[in-house]
Amino acid sequence: MKRIFEVDPWKIVTHSLDKDNKRLQESITSIGNEYMGMRGMFEEKYSGDTHPGIYLGGIWYPDKTRVGWWKNGYPEYFGKVINAVDFVSVDIQLDGRSIDLAQDKFSDFTLELDMKCGLLSRSFIIHRNDTSVKVKSERFVSVACKELYANRLRFENLGEKPVEICVTSLLNANVFNEDANYDDQFWNVLDKRSMQQALTMTAQTIENDFGTPRFTVAMKAIHQTSLKYQNNLETAKSVSACWQGKLFANEKAEFEKKVIVTTSRDYSDRFVMEEAAEKLSNKQAVQSFEQLLAAHVLVWAKRWEKSDIVIDGNDESQQGIRFNLFQLFSTYYGNDSRLNIGPKGFTGEKYGGATYWDTEAFAVPFYLGAASSKVTKNLLQYRHNQLDGAYHNAKQQGLAGALFPMVTFNGIECHNEWEITFEEIHRNGSVAYAIYNYTRYTGDQEYVHHNGFDVLVGIARFWADRVHYSTRKDQYMIHGVTGPNEYENNVNNNWYTNMLAKWCLQYTEKIAQEVSEEKISDLRVTDAERQRWAEISEKMYLPYDKKLGVFVQHDTFLDKDLTPAKELPQDQLPLNQHWSWDRILRSPYIKQADVLQGIYYFIEQFSEAQKRRNFDFYEPLTVHESSLSAATHSILAADLHKEEKAFEMYSRTARLDLDNYNNDTEDGLHVTSMTGSWLAIVQGFAGMRVSDDKLHLAPFVPQEWKGYSFRLNFRNRLLSVVVGAKRTELTLLAGAPLEVILNGEPVIVKMEEN
Amino acid sequence: MKRIFEVDPWKIVTHSLDKDNKRLQESITSIGNEYMGMRGMFEEKYSGDTHPGIYLGGIWYPDKTRVGWWKNGYPEYFGKVINAVDFVSVDIQLDGRSIDLAQDKFSDFTLELDMKCGLLSRSFIIHRNDTSVKVKSERFVSVACKELYANRLRFENLGEKPVEICVTSLLNANVFNEDANYDDQFWNVLDKRSMQQALTMTAQTIENDFGTPRFTVAMKAIHQTSLKYQNNLETAKSVSACWQGKLFANEKAEFEKKVIVTTSRDYSDRFVMEEAAEKLSNKQAVQSFEQLLAAHVLVWAKRWEKSDIVIDGNDESQQGIRFNLFQLFSTYYGNDSRLNIGPKGFTGEKYGGATYWDTEAFAVPFYLGAASSKVTKNLLQYRHNQLDGAYHNAKQQGLAGALFPMVTFNGIECHNEWEITFEEIHRNGSVAYAIYNYTRYTGDQEYVHHNGFDVLVGIARFWADRVHYSTRKDQYMIHGVTGPNEYENNVNNNWYTNMLAKWCLQYTEKIAQEVSEEKISDLRVTDAERQRWAEISEKMYLPYDKKLGVFVQHDTFLDKDLTPAKELPQDQLPLNQHWSWDRILRSPYIKQADVLQGIYYFIEQFSEAQKRRNFDFYEPLTVHESSLSAATHSILAADLHKEEKAFEMYSRTARLDLDNYNNDTEDGLHVTSMTGSWLAIVQGFAGMRVSDDKLHLAPFVPQEWKGYSFRLNFRNRLLSVVVGAKRTELTLLAGAPLEVILNGEPVIVKMEEN
């Protein structure tokens, strides 16, 4: 654990610059607006260790797959989000020498991410010989105008001698990815111009061997300043402009940089600059930084109104949950169904910014409650858009139907470990589950009966071909899979996978009864096919141990040495840093919920005894070495009234990044895992469930808190839930009256009339 | 199947140059003398597709391991045999233009590998306008003087116009490996000189990051020719000399190049050139090519006398077995216990020229019978030399004892697929089995009681730590392994692995009773440890199916869809080219003998019924997509009097490379698999076994043959075995009288007195 920011309910703030943990600071102070985002590197020169990163949603490059030993079926390329053309850097010189906090003497340092406003600001006083200059920087990527990045710099001469100040603003395509195979660069500059106060650049991603689209990006930087324009400079890959001025004692200066970034994702290549960037920047140019910020803050205020969670009596928890909400919304807010939620969002290169099953398993349940239903619908639509890719993936394995990928930008699988790519196929179940989850939560039948059914049929066809019939057992089986517990590979009859496959077939068959005949015939779903789905789901083998009364994780799991994890020597944890891979594989230790993930998915369908027996059997074997593990366990523990355990698990997820729990936040934030703290509070502590078309709540307050309150979006209502030690108050903030089942009793919640 | 050479009992010969299959030709016409070897590329320029390769035994480079996703425990480097400094190339110009068979018009082409003499020769007539010149080239790497390579070129002007001939001989370090990661080169030239008729070069392998030894190689080329010395030329990485002469009509010229290659493996770096290469080349220089060749042929004659197999009535079979013997002996003849048998020997880059378990499982049984016992003893000693590496490998996995590597040059594992590196641990059993096999075959107890016991204890300690105790079954188990059938990965309780582990523990305990007390105490073998070995081997779980009466390949094998391989559509074969990896894994299809490999190892201990039931169950599921598969099946089929099946399987191994059965011989020969044809004849058709210290034979003649005869080395005897349709004749060619059990009856075989 390493905490470098102070505890504060609404702010991520520090008053010291920890140069040894600069990357960690940069990850935590990332900002984004779903369209683009960036790490918290400084605008000005920083000669110490730093990991700059500016990313544009959906702008990626297919890098050639590199493996030691090729396996049939491997994808040809691995997609990675590339560092965008740098539009953030600004060089600030005082008396001819660049400010560089790695070298300069400075005082009064503050770095603050204001989560309420979505504003990153920083101030410090530079001391050189007998001069002292205060510098303040503020920046945001606008949630009111997605193409806008704005940065304001303010200077004040605190000394007595005059200081010559020079600010150089850049657009620079000379950028690198740290994870590039060979220090390759990914941008060709097509056009660049400097027109005194304005800079423009149009750049295109380099060619690739795989026929995936190349992207064109245009950016125009406009400036407003009290300094005096000096000159422009162009190099092969960059363009810049410089402003200068003399600051006398106590004198101030201001510098605003506003950048409009447009891409060929929204405009045809030809017009990405001419029409889009030009037009948009003209529109923003007439507004000041102050005005643009105000519009941005207003949108954030609306988001908080819909989604805030207030925790009474624990500022650490409060900061943790708000930080998670802030970063999640910065990554995705459902405005573009072509985008998704990379495990690190816009906060790092790792996991290539691609789409994982995290989205359906962990992000969908969160967005369903924390935002309006269109957010989730766009996440579902994303998979529908990529259905062709999913059919392609199944075909690569010689199978029918659609297999949604483990890692992707465009629907085509681009991960290359056989035990994951080919075998971690339970992901397909979660894509179907998300449709089911959306439907029961929103009550919207439209999606599942149209686009949703296309997806379900593809998935059902995959499972129907992927099973095999075991003559000996007279059952259908699924051999050779990796379950959610990635600490076992290539197992047979993973209970979670088999259960989910069975459910997918049943659910698809159920929906088939509801859709139009036209839909059935469009998709060529035959009676024979439906019969086969029914037969397979009826005869699906679900390993169960009578003696223990538990579902068995996979065929031979119970033959293992089942020593509980707590008996492991502490110096061997985490296992993934201390044990060789084979030792991990044959151990009984579970990386993240596996059987319990399945129980979580259908929690209302299992008996208390079933839940308890499985939890008590599997949790002691679980090492929670995936950041996705804790939330599921917290919810199940809460469900079983193991309140202490529930809170312990919650604590592992809420401040995972703020406290650098896993010692890897310097690479970027665990964005998809951040949903876990919301889920642990709402589904865990507050016992939120949806069943029989009704919202259920059964809250308790953890001992460590006095109370908590949250907002819940449910079927066009916005509900305020205030949980106190003694009672829970429900208030309807928007929408028609609603029957809620509170602690098992129906309650009608209406808008307050006043 | 593609056959580019003619059928001939002693020769590999063709009268046409198949430019489309040049690499295949080069593989098949490889020559070697265990110390060094080379592919059959031409000496002179060839501008068409070609894959030159010259390799020096034990000269390798540790290339950085590159994988898509790193797993804990992976080795840091992958060793590869590097292309040696090129001492073979010679440029031949006629009237100022290089001969190039890819471009030139030519006739009367012959390319011939004489297996009796170990000589590769080639002749052709070049036609250019009104000139015709006959060129003949002969080359060999001497088995009489391991450091010697010799090449003789002869020219004859068949036209009427005089022809200017110019021969340039090179030593050239500017060479590449096709499998290099980034076209890197591996040689630094330390010194090079050209002294008129002599050329020298000293080169050292480049630095590496892993502290493995760098190798220095010195070579001196000396020349003898009727042409006139012209000049020398040096470049940064090469040195050459040129000779010229005018050939008038019917006139002839000769050019001999002899090269002495010494390495720091035999001499200290400092002296590798000064003393070794100089001295040796002076000694050889006084002899003509003819004399050097005669000495070489004499050694080959002795090898054939000891080992030849004669097949009556089938020249294809005859050529096949001789080719295999020739290439095996060219790769390894037991003169250097620091060397081993790479799966492609000196015939290609693939498999990096490293040591695999092929050696113990397939090469040892062959060399035991086909050569003197010291050959095998050196193979055993090789593993003993690398025992430290084996302890290191086990430690990498967090385990006690010694784990011999899957792929190695120095004992340290250098393969990097987790399912192989970490899991194909049955290899450890074969290392122990080879000691047992050597001991029972030779009767020599000395090795097993000394160095052999060191190895056995290391292996036993590994198994004792690698098993786990299953409380539920009250048995010891081995989870997470890959058996010899690499078409399944990460399985539990592979019968072969468990059986072999159990046997290793028992055998080590048995030998422990025989060795000196000093040895026991040196190795710190305690009574408690021996008791544990006994307990584990007693309670080792060996999966068995009562209903089928077969050993079960692994825990859940019988749950598979067990459709026989013959029902697979032909266009899906071989599976490894048509199926995705996961589909192969969950199929029941077996790449090479697995349960049956275990039965083969201890064939005399299983009942006829056991052997038959297992063969009849597993063979129909076996696709034989490893070149190592056929021999084991041939031997077991012969044992079960399935003579047709035995011959079918033999045929797949005997001419595997000559007929390019697997369509991959262009990469190099399947050297270790070549042992299979010898084993299929001697252990299969002739039923050779050793049990109770006696040699057993029970021969039959396959329908396709009239008869066959072979030589057998057994306990200091050399035996001739002539098998005819009616009877088998045994003759002792050397050694004391021997009791042989022929078809179940004891026969005393004595030297003929005359």
* pLDDT tens sequence across A302-332: 999 999 999 999 999 999 999 999 999 999 9
pLDDT of amino acid B744? 96
pLDDT of amino acid A66? 82
Closest among B238, B240, B241 to B229, alpha carbons compared: B241
CB contact under 8 A, B586 and A562: no
Q: Predicted confidence band at B320 (pLDDT cuts at 50, 70, 90)?
A: very high
The answer to whether the CB of A508 falls within 8 A of the CB of A450 is no
Q: A492 pLDDT exceeds 80?
A: yes
Rounded average pLDDT over A208-216: 94
Distance CA B151, CA B221 (A): 11
Which ranges constitute the DSSP H helices of A515-556? 517-522, 527-538
The answer to whether the CB of A60 falls within 8 A of the CB of A352 is yes
CATH match of B11-66+75-305 with 3.40.30.10:
no
CB contact under 8 A, B561 and A468: yes
pLDDT of amino acid A197? 84
Annotated binding site of A for substrate: 357-358, 591-592
Distance CA A100, CA B158 (A): 82
Task: Retrieve residue A424's tokens.
Answer: 């971690």
Q: A180 pLDDT exceeds 80?
A: no
The edge-to-edge listing of strands for the beta sheet with B31-32 is B31-32, B36-38, B54-56
Backbone angles phi, psi at B459, to 5 degrees: -70, -45
Q: Percent helix, strand and coil across chain A, each rounded to 5?
A: 35, 25, 40
In B475-547, at which residue ranges do the beta strands (DSSP E only) sit? 475-477, 544-545
CB contact under 8 A, A560 and B490: no
pLDDT of amino acid A271? 83
How many angstroms away from the CA of A472 is the closest CA of chain B?
6
Rounded average pLDDT over A576-583: 95
Q: B507 pLDDT exceeds 70?
A: yes
Active-site pick, B138, B486, B509, B619: B486
Q: Nearest chain B residue to A545 by CA: give it.
A: B472
Biggest alpha carbon–alpha carbon distance for chain B: 92
What is the number of CB-based contacts under 8 A between chain A and chain B? 128
pLDDT of amino acid A1? 82
In B25-67, at which residue ranges do the beta strands (DSSP E only) sit? 31-32, 36-38, 54-56, 60-64
Amino acid at B718: L
DSSP A463-479: HHHH-EEETTTTEEE--
Distance CA B653, CA B327 (A): 14
DSSP B703-738: TT-SEEEEEEEETTEEEEEEEESS-EEEEEEESS-E
Q: B754 pLDDT exceeds 70?
A: no
Closest among B346, B258, B355, B354 to B33, alpha carbons compared: B346
CB contact under 8 A, B582 and A418: yes
A498 contacts in chain B (CB < 8 Å): none
Active site residues of A: 486
Q: What is the pTM for the complete model shown?
A: 0.93
How many angstroms away from the CA of A632 is the closest CA of chain B?
26
Distance CA B447, CA B49 (A): 48
Fold of the CATH domain A333-685: Glycosyltransferase (1.50.10)
CB contact under 8 A, A561 and B470: yes
Q: Nearest chain B residue to A397 by CA: give it.
A: B580
Q: A663 pLDDT exceeds 80?
A: yes
pLDDT of amino acid A285? 80
Which positions ≥6 away from A688 have C-beta within 8 Å? A369, A682, A695, A696, A697, A712
How many angstroms away from the CA of A44 is the closest CA of chain B?
35
* pLDDT tens sequence across A264-294: 999 988 888 877 888 888 888 889 999 999 9
pLDDT of amino acid B181? 65
Distance CA B222, CA B695 (A): 50
* pLDDT tens sequence across B62-121: 988 888 888 999 999 999 889 999 999 999 999 999 999 999 999 999 999 999 999 999
Strand, helix or coil for residue B673: helix
Distance CA B449, CA A19 (A): 62
Q: B646 pLDDT exceeds 90?
A: yes
Q: Nearest chain A residue to B77 by CA: give it.
A: A68
Distance CA B399, CA B475 (A): 20
Rounded average pLDDT over A107-120: 98
**ipTM of this complex prediction, to 2 decimal places:** 0.91
Half-sphere exposure of B379 (CA within 13 A, CB side): 35
Backbone angles phi, psi at A280, to 5 degrees: -65, -40
A617 contacts in chain B (CB < 8 Å): none
Q: Nearest chain B residue to A420 by CA: give it.
A: B582
In A327-366, at which residue ranges do the beta strands (DSSP E only) sit? none
How many angstroms away from the CA of B486 is the closest CA of chain A?
13
CA dihedral A295, A299, A301, A303 (to 10 degrees): -170
Percent of residues, chain A, with pLDDT higher than 70: 99
Q: Predicted confidence band at B603 (pLDDT cuts at 50, 70, 90)?
A: very high
The answer to whether the CB of B351 falls within 8 A of the CB of B344 is yes
Percent of residues, chain B, with pLDDT higher than 70: 99
Task: Retrieve residue A628's tokens.
Answer: 């996705």
Strand, helix or coil for residue B393: helix
Element (DSSP H or E) covering residue A370: helix A364-370
Q: B352 pLDDT exceeds 70?
A: no
Indicate where chain A has its CATH 1.50.10.10 domain(s).
333-685
pLDDT of amino acid B200? 95
CB contact under 8 A, B582 and A422: yes
* pLDDT tens sequence across A685-742: 999 999 999 999 999 999 999 999 999 999 999 999 999 999 999 999 999 999 999 9
Least reliable range by pLDDT among A334-338, A481-485, B556-560: A334-338
Q: Predicted confidence band at A754 (pLDDT cuts at 50, 70, 90)?
A: low
A558 contacts in chain B (CB < 8 Å): 472
CB contact under 8 A, B556 and A555: yes
Amino acid at B206: I
Nearest-by-Cβ selection for A583 from B398, B558, B582:
B398
A64 contacts in chain B (CB < 8 Å): none
Indicate where chain A has its CATH 2.70.98.40 domain(s).
11-66+75-305
Rounded average pLDDT over A227-244: 95
Distance CA A582, CA B490 (A): 9
Task: Retrieve residue A95's tokens.
Answer: 């008396």
* pLDDT tens sequence across B678-694: 999 999 999 999 999 99
Distance CA B564, CA B586 (A): 14
* pLDDT tens sequence across B467-490: 999 999 999 999 999 999 999 999
Tokens 């593993």 belong to B383
CB contact under 8 A, A397 and B583: yes
Average pLDDT of chain A, as a whole number: 95
pLDDT of amino acid B286? 85
Rounded average pLDDT over A211-234: 95
pLDDT of amino acid A389? 97
Distance CA A396, CA A409 (A): 17
Rg (CA), chain B: 27
Dihedral sign (CA A612, A614, A617, A621):
negative
Percent of residues, chain A, with pLDDT higher than 90: 91
Q: A76 pLDDT exceeds 70?
A: yes
A561 contacts in chain B (CB < 8 Å): 468-471
Distance CA B282, CA B222 (A): 9
* pLDDT tens sequence across B260-307: 999 999 998 888 887 788 888 888 888 999 999 999 999 999 999 999
B462 contacts in chain A (CB < 8 Å): none
pLDDT of amino acid B184? 81
Average pLDDT of chain B, as a whole number: 95
The answer to whether the CB of A59 falls within 8 A of the CB of A84 is yes
Dihedral sign (CA B209, B211, B212, B217):
positive
Q: A41 pLDDT exceeds 90?
A: yes
